[in-house]
Amino acid sequence: MSKTLFDKVWDAHVVTSIKNGPQVLYIDKHLIHEVTSPQAFTELKTRNLPLFRPKQIIATADHNTPTKNQHLPVKDLLSRNQLAQLTSNCKENNIELYGLGHPNNGIVHVIAPELGITQPGMTLVCGDSHTSTHGAFGSIAFGIGTSQVAQVFASQCVLAEKPKSMRISIHGKLKKNVFPKDVILYIISKLGTNSGTGYFVEYAGDVFQNMSMEGRMTVCNMSIEMGARGGLIAPDSITYNYIKGRKFAPSGKDLEKKMTYWESLKTEEDATFDTEYSFNAKDISPMITFGTNPGMGIKISETIPKSKDKSFKNSLQYMDFKEGQSLLNTPINYVFIGSCTNSRIEDFRVAANFIKGKQKANNVTAWLVPGSQMVVKQLKEEGLDVVFEKAGFELRQPGCSACLAMNDDKIPSGAYCVSTSNRNFEGRQGPGSKTLLASPLTAASVAVAGKIVDISKFS
């Protein structure tokens, strides 16, 4: 039978299958961070089990770290303890750790690709649902719970049932001011937040083929927001050019050998999918969410739809919006550009390009939180920090920050935040906070205007 890209990578990693049960899937790279790993290390200790393959694990501190004064001891005692445990666990088990202040430190899903750790055809897991990001390289990458983190520690494998396959194709050329974030918000708004549950998604068509790696990562990152464990895109010359020359990327003979494998990673023409969807690029406009799940999105210029659904009504009540209302001109007091969805260099270039020569509105607090130390270095080299500073934006140090508000970067109760992150759940950015998801360009335009504006109208 003809194979999909997903089949090829999955089947190459099956160690064995349990009769009428899951398969044992071998994991090439295991990424860990301070929040979902401590209990897994304890589990191993309790069972007196050794860590099986420490060289295949990379650790970073990102979820629970401050974005200011990272050179000072972390003020929050619980956070400091969690970070200290990560450090001692990594040391005891010979795991490479990129802790606070390390030049390779940053959000786990930003650093692994930029260091060349993420490569096509790999299996990759992390105790974080946005691990789906790495699928942008044509790898199988998915989030796992802490029990599974312990399983991978002990055996470098997970038990998993092979998911169903879905293909989402988008053809045509994206309109001006439409970004990868708008594409994925559009898809989720059309298909719903549980449409992908039980599936792995392949994104296909010229919209994705013409997308940069940063853009592909944004799309794959939010696969989980439609319930899919992961999403992937076939590797091509854009992928290879991104990887080549990075710190842990293969080179010379090794690269040649790998390239042969990578180039085989395409869905065969007559392969079939359990479910297929197709959209037209011309139908996609800049998007924004109005509710409390990522599927509740509209074109910025549209009005909020009507629904009899109780959860829908509760969601609008939480957001303090009404059916039929336009979001345009809604005053916004917080803007957050960051998170594993949109904190890469390209995202800051887009924002800076718009902001240059303008001023942030007085009513807005705007936090820019780069995804990694490398992004910080790069944006400084390009002089973007000066653009942001002149415009009144606050450039912070890397981390997950206000995406999940585990640290002090919280949006106050009742306040709206236009955010480039991935989740607009109730209280996600702090108790009582109201999140509107959008692209970095939309977020930048809101910060300058102090209210929601229709970015599709800007030249």
Partner 1 sequence: MEKFTKLITTAIPLSIENIDTDQIIPARFLKATSKEGFGKNLFRDWRFDQNNNPKEDFILNNSNYKGQILIAGTNFGCGSSREHAAWAIADYGFKVVISSFFADIFKGNALNNGILPIQISENFLQILLKTTLSNPNSLILIDLKEQTVLLEETGQFEKFEINSYKKHCLLNGFDDIDYLVSIKDKIEVFENKRLVK
Q: Which helix (H) or strand (E) holds 193?
A: none
User: 303 - beta bridge partners?
Assistant: 326
Element (H, E) at 419: strand 416-419
Round to whole Å and give the CA distance between 263 and 27.
21
Can you tell me which of 210, 264, 272, 413 binds partner 1, judged by CB under 8 A? 413
What torsion, rounded to 10 degrees, do the Cα atoms 176, 180, 185, 191 define? 110
Contact 218, 180 (CB under 8 A): yes
- CA 239, 240, 241: angle at the middle one, nearest 5? 95
Handedness of CA 404, 410, 411, 413 (dihedral sign): positive
Is 368 among the residues that bind partner 1 (CB under 8 A)?
Answer: no
For partner 1, the binding residue among 30, 216, 229, 258 (CB under 8 A) is: 229
146 binds partner 1 (CB under 8 A): yes
**Helix count and strand count (H, E) for the chain:** 15, 19
Contact string 427-446 vs partner 1 (x = CB under 8 A): xx--xx--------------
In the bound state with partner 1, the residue whose beta carbon lies nearer, of 28 and 454, is 28
Interaction between residue 220 and partner 1 (CB under 8 A): no
Stretches 183-191, 223-231, 325-333, 342-350: which one binds partner 1 (CB under 8 A)? 223-231
User: In this structure, what DSSP letter does residue 136 have?
Assistant: G
For residue 290, what is the enclosing H or E element? none
What sign does the dihedral 7-223-112-96 (CA atoms) show? negative
Work out the widest C-alpha separation in the chain, in whole angstroms. 64
Is 148 among the residues that bind partner 1 (CB under 8 A)? yes
Nearer of residues 100 and 351 to partner 1, judged by Cβ: 100
30-59 residues near partner 1, rule: CB under 8 A: 35-36, 38-39, 42-43, 47, 49, 52
CA distances from 40 to 50, 60, 85 (A): 12, 16, 12
283-312 footprint of partner 1 as x/- string (CB under 8 A): ----------x----------------xx-
From 64, 285, 339, 373, residue interacting with partner 1 (rule: CB under 8 A):
64
The single residue among 54, 198, 205, 392 that binds partner 1, judged by CB under 8 A, is: 198
The Cα angle at residue 94 between residues 91 and 99, in degrees rounded to 5: 55
Which conformational region is residue 116 in: left (phi greater than 0), alpha (psi within -120 to 50 degrees), or beta?
A: left
Within positions 333 to 362, which residues make up the interface with partner 1, using CB under 8 A? none
Q: With binding defined as CB under 8 A, does residue 79 bind partner 1?
A: yes
Does residue 426 belong to the site contacting partner 1 (CB under 8 A)? yes
- Of residues 9 and 355, the one with the C-beta less far from partner 1: 9
| From 3-11, 142-150, 342-350, 373-381, span contacting partner 1 (CB under 8 A) | 142-150
Q: Does 22 bind partner 1 (CB under 8 A)?
A: yes
Closer to partner 1 at the Cβ: 36 or 343?
36
**Angle at CA of residue 392, ends 388 and 394, nearest 5°:** 70
Is position 159 an interface residue for partner 1 (rule: CB under 8 A)?
yes
Backbone angles phi, psi at 87, to 5 degrees: -60, -50
Per CB under 8 A, residues contacting partner 1 are 15-16, 18, 20-22, 24, 26, 35-36, 38-39, 42-43, 47, 49, 52, 63-64, 76, 78-79, 81-82, 85, 127-129, 143-148, 150-151, 154-157, 159, 161, 193-194, 197-198, 224, 227, 229, 293, 310-311, 314, 404-406, 413, 423, 425-428, 431-432
